[in-house]
A = this chain, B = another copy of it.
Amino acid sequence: MKRRGFIRNSLLSAAALAVGRTNSAEAASGVLQIPEWTKRLGSGVGTEAYGKPSIFERNVIRRFLPLIQPTREASISFCPLQDLHGTITPNGLFFERHHAGTPKIDPDVHLLVIHGMVDKPLKFTANDLMRFPSISRIHFVECAGNGALEQHGASHNALQFTHGMLSCAQWTGVPLRLLLEEAGVRNGAKWLLSEGADAVALARSFPLDKAMDDAMIAYAQNGEQLRPEQGYPLRLILPGWEGVANVKWLRRLEVGDRPWQTREETSTYTDLLPSGKARQFTFIQEAKSVITSPCPERPMPGKGYFSIEGLAWSGEGKIKRVDVSFDGGRNWQQARIKGPVLDKALTRFQIDWQWNGQQALLQSRVTDETRYVQPSYKQLRKVRGTDSVYHNNAIQTWLVHPSGEVENVQIG
């Protein structure tokens, strides 16, 4: 009731607020004016056997950065987080990161082979896997390089580019544990190699413990088969772990006793520390959050009441709390977390703001169920230095100008 009263007051008091108020005559006239589209039949069903968004939403698309990524095949497309709502990312807007482009795979030919330190090697098509009991889980996937350029300063004045290597879907597939139990893992096995069927045969090592915990061989995403750019027909899902470890177009899993030291876990996807040594196998995407409204692409529409919204996520589990600062981290207020709060899934938060039209420094800071607290840039750099480009989970600052414009800045 307190919140409701707050909104009502702001509606009544803020002349600049374009929301809602009218008088009976205006409302009646709004009701009586029959719009053009009500005067004629619309388009029939089946016009789109597979539907598309409204043409008025044509700017809600994935985008890439041509200057930074000279080839399209080893590139990134960023998810338009500034235009999304809720916690599910539509498949058509799920961010892409490819090392050699998206292969066009015939699912009746594609095989997943499980071999190495197992009693019985196994092979499956996607259709074979659909005979097994399936699980469906909502999990985010975030590239380890999300925010990489931000580590050296506020590089992009756009949420889509600062945080857009992040998406979330309901994944359906078979628990990897079930398949490994079928194959019979031999004593001494401790690691697996996952390899994709793309032109770089992207390969990563991961521990057997994760495979036996919550790893999944996914064939579906948000209800339908995986999209080609998300690994059709099969991908590995390692919930909460860096995107590259969720190998797409999965063609084999080899069981072994030590990591393989592939390219993607030695020359890349490691964190170079001030000592000159690099952290390796830093799989987990630690707790992170960002305010999505307002943001550079979604400026403040005017003074008065505004509902600040944002996303929080943690590779360690569930979100416990989110705090928001309006003054660059000096003072914090607890935000409202919107349920259901799911394990290793995007979670929405909200906090009311009565904007007086003055400059503000907006920040959000998440705490996950392990009590890990999202760090500031200062705290992150103290531990990791300035050469590391992966696993940037620092607090984001949006500078709100009196004009309502929102600017990406780095403080603290």
Interface of A with B (CB < 8 Å)? 3-4, 7-8, 11, 17-24, 26-28, 30-31, 35, 37-57, 60-64, 69, 71-73, 75-77, 83-94, 96-98, 100-107, 109-111, 113-115, 120-124, 127-136, 170-172, 178-179, 181-182, 197-199, 201, 219-220, 222-229, 232-233, 251-252, 293, 301, 305-307, 309, 336, 338, 340, 342, 348, 350, 352
Which of B4, B61, B104, B111 is within 8 Å of A50, CB to CB?
B61
By a CB distance below 8 angstroms, the chain B residues around A129 are 19
By a CB distance below 8 angstroms, the chain B residues around A338 are 135-136
> Is B26's CB under 8 angstroms from A101's CB?
no
By a CB distance below 8 angstroms, the chain B residues around A97 are 45
> Is A85's CB under 8 angstroms from B42's CB?
no
> Is A100's CB under 8 angstroms from B199's CB?
no
> Is A98's CB under 8 angstroms from B45's CB?
yes
> Is A131's CB under 8 angstroms from B19's CB?
yes
Distance in angstroms between the alpha carbons of A46 and B124 in the assembled complex: 31
Distance in angstroms between the alpha carbons of A69 and B128 in the assembled complex: 37
> Is B122's CB under 8 angstroms from A46's CB?
no
Distance in angstroms between the alpha carbons of A306 and B11 in the assembled complex: 58
> Is A45's CB under 8 angstroms from B96's CB?
yes
Which of B88, B133, B198 is within 8 Å of A222, CB to CB?
B88
Question: Distance (Å) between the CB of A29 and the closest chain B CB?
Answer: 9
Question: Distance (Å) between the CB of A234 and the closest chain B CB?
Answer: 12
Distance in angstroms between the alpha carbons of A18 and B123 in the assembled complex: 10
By a CB distance below 8 angstroms, the chain B residues around A114 are 27
